[in-house]
Chain A
C-alpha cells in the first residue's frame, strides 16, 4: 500500500545522507586540488538551506516569492547588529534570533500577502524586500549604510576560534554549516512527507478543492511561508561570518532572483533539487565572475534557457536517465 505513495528521485533519508557525505568529502579534496574553490562549497551549502526553504513555498505550495532576499537580509543583519551593538560572539544564539525574527516577519506580513496569491504574492514580496533594502541603506547610522557592518570571527559551540589560522577556521566553519544543513535537510524531509507536505501539494494543485475538503488553506500557506522564512533567515545568518561583511547587497532584489534560479536549475519538483541547484549555481557564479563582469547578462540568458528547455531542472534530467537505465538493464530499483 505504501508504494502507492510515490516519492520522487532523491526523496529519502538515504539520498540525503549520501548528499551530505559527498559535501563533506568534497571539501578536503577541493582544498587539495583547487584551494580557491573550496570556500564556495560552504557558500553553496548555505544557499541550499535558503533554496530549500524557498522551495517549500514554490515547488510544494505553488507560491512564487520574488522577495526571499528579505529573509537573507533579516538573518544577516541579525548577526551583524547583535555583534555590533551587543558584542555577542557566540553564533548559536544569533542563529536562533535570526530564525525567530524571520518567523515573526513572515507571520506579520503573511496573512496579507498570502491572501491574493499568484502575481500579487510574487511582487508584494519583491516590494517588501525593496523596503527593507531601503532601510539598510537609509538608516546608515544604525546599519552602516553601503559600508555595512564588519563581522569578526564568531564562536562556535562555545569555542573561541579567534586564534587559529584562517584556513582552519574556514574548514571548521564548513563542517559546522554542513551539520546544520544536514539537520535542515532531514527536517525538510519530514515536512514534505508529512500530512502538511501532502496538503500543501494539494493546495498547489487545486486550492479551491483543498478548501472544499475542509483544509484551512490560508493557515497552511502561512505555516509553509513561516517555515520557508525560517530556513532562509537561517541561511542569511550563516552567510555573515563567511562574507565577513553584512551589507545591503545581501538583501538586494537580485539575491531573490538568485534563489529562484537555484531552485529551478536543480528542479523544483524534487526535494533535493534546490540543494543540487544551489551548489551548482554557486560554482557557476564564482567561475563566471572570474571571466566576466557581465554575470547578470549570462544569468538572464541561462534563466530563460532553463525555463524553456528544461523547466523541471537538472534532477529531472537525472531522473529520466535513471529511468532509461532501469528500463535497459532492469535492475535499478529506486530506493524509496
Chain B
C-alpha cells in the first residue's frame, strides 16, 4: 500500500476511534466507570444513519449531497442522545459509587439489551448505506483513487477535536471538567450542580459515540457484534493513551489505528493480538498511559 494511503486510512480510522474513546474517557474521568455499553451508542448511530438515509432521505430528497451530509448525521445524533437519556444516563448515574463490579455488570446488561434492540429493530442481517460515500466521489492520490468522504470525516473530526480542546483548556466548563476528573469530589467542592454536570458529560459522550457511528456507516456495514468489536479496540486505545484524559484519547486512537492499519496489511489474523501486546507493553512501561495521568 502506498504511504499516503496508509496515512490517510490510519487517520480515518483513528477519527472514528477518537470519537468513541473521547466519550469513554470523559465518562471514566468524571464517573470512574468504564461504560461497557458505550460502543453500543456508536453502533446505534450507525444503524440509525443507515435507516434514515435509505428510508427517509433518499426516497424523498433523492441523492442530494447536502441533505445526505447533514440530515442523517443530525437526526441520528439526536436519536442517540434520546436513547442515551432513556437508558444509559439513568443507569450510569444510579451505578455511581456502587463499585467497579456493579458498574461493569450493569453496563454489560445494557450492552446485551442493545444487541437485541438492534436485532428487533433492524434485523439480524448487515445493514449499510453507501450513498454519501459514492456521492462524494474520488480523487487521485499517488496514482490511486481515494474517496473524498474519508477526507471529509478526517476534517470534521479534526475540527471537533479542536473544539473539544478549546472547551477543555479555554473555558470555565473545561476547567471544571479537568478539575473533577482529577478529583471526583471537585465538582461538588466548586459549588456546582453535580447531577446536572454529570448529565451534560454523559450526553456529550453519547453524542460523540453516536456521531462516530454515523460517520462510520457510509464506508462499511453495521451488524450485530460490532459494538464489542469496537469496545475492545477502544479500550486498548484507552489503556495506551491513558484512562480518562483528552490527550490520551488523541494519542490512543492514533497509535491503535496506525498499528491496526499496519497489521491488517501484514498479518490480519493477528490484529487484536498485536494491539493487545502493545497495550500490555505500555501498561508495564507507563501504567498511566502515554498521554494520561493528568486527568481530562
Contact = CB atoms under 8 A, between A and B. Distances in A.
Q: Do chains A and B touch in the complex (CB under 8 A)?
A: yes
Interface of A: 58, 62, 64, 66, 112, 115-116, 118-120, 122-124, 126-128, 130-131, 134-135, 138-139, 253-254, 257, 260-261, 264, 293-297, 299-304, 307-308, 311
Contacts of B186: none
A296 B112 contact: yes
B284 interface: yes
B91 interface: yes
A62, A253, A264 interface centre (most CB from chain B within 10 Å): A253
A83 B244 CA distance: 47
B161 interface: no
Nearest to A121: B100
Given A300-B116, A308-B106, 14 more contacts: A62-B101, A112-B284, A116-B287, A119-B34, A127-B235, A131-B272, A134-B272, A135-B269, A264-B105, A294-B116, A296-B112, A297-B112, A300-B109, A303-B108
Contact of A66 (B104, B114, B239, B276): B104
19 contacts: A64-B100, A66-B108, A116-B287, A120-B283, A127-B232, A127-B236, A130-B229, A131-B272, A134-B271, A138-B268, A138-B269, A254-B112, A294-B120, A296-B113, A297-B112, A297-B116, A301-B113, A307-B109, A311-B102
Nearest to B287: A116
Contact of B109 (A126, A294, A304): A304
Contacts of B106: 303-304, 307-308
B36, B109, B120, B283 interface centre (most CB from chain A within 10 Å): B109
A122 B276 contact: no
Interface in B81-122: 91, 94, 100-102, 104-106, 108-117, 119-120
B241 to A, nearest CB: 14
B276 A64 contact: no
Interface string B259-280: 0000000001101110010011
Which 9 A-B pairs give the minimum distances between C-beta atoms? A300-B113, A297-B116, A303-B109, A296-B116, A304-B109, A296-B112, A300-B112, A300-B109, A131-B272
A58 B109 CA distance: 17
A297 B108 contact: no
B36, B100, B108, B113 interface centre (most CB from chain A within 10 Å): B108
Dominant secondary structure at the A interface = helix
Dominant secondary structure at the B interface = helix
B54 interface: no
B228 interface: yes
A294 B224 CA distance: 13
Contacts of A119: 34, 100, 104
Contact of A304 (B91, B117, B119, B239): B91
Nearest to B243: A119
Interface string B119-141: 11000000000000000000000
Contacts of B116: 294-297, 300
Contacts of B36: 66
A300 to B, nearest CB: 3
B34, B113, B273, B283 interface centre (most CB from chain A within 10 Å): B113
Given A119-B34, A131-B272, A296 B108 contact: no
A112 B110 contact: no
B232 A130 contact: yes
